[in-house]
Amino acid sequence: MAGKSRKDHRGRVLPPNVSQKPDRRYIWRKVIDGRQYVLTDNDLNGLKKKIVNKESEIQNGIYSAPAKITLNEWFYKWMDVYKSNLKVTTRENYFTGWKNYVKDSQLGNMQISKIKRMHLVELYKELSEEKGLATATVHNVHDV
């Protein structure tokens, strides 16, 4: 079967590990370091972008199992990887706000996959009513 390439319903050659389902959605499946990754998209170009992002995350060690990482762990990883170019004072403000209002809360210790909107609302209510924070401060915590 050498020389034959897989094609989609429009005749386009599919990239490696990509196939098209009967409902015309594209699916990418790949096992990397013993872990299976699956991405889907209705558009082939959209799927290609997702693949590039996912492979970059995996290669750079940014990706970890979302079901297991806590919000605190993600915050520190996010600060190191995505926000490493912040000004010193902004960075300090982010860390101080996190340490004072989120780190030791129920939300900070929850796994990301289990966080629901309700948990955020509870944190904001706690910050404004029990800790007496101004609305602007609660907004800053939300932004971070």
In tens, the pLDDT along 9-25 reads 899 999 999 999 999 99
On whether the CB atoms of residues 56 and 69 are closer than 8 A, the answer is: no
- Which residue ranges make up each domain of the chain? 1-63, 71-143
Percentage of the chain lying above the pLDDT 90 cut:
39
Which pTM was predicted? 0.54
Task: Return d(Cα 110, Cα 141) in angstroms, integer.
Answer: 17
Token duo for residue 92: 């300090």
The dotted CATH code for 1-63 is 3.30.160.60
Query: CA Rg, the chain, in Å?
Result: 21
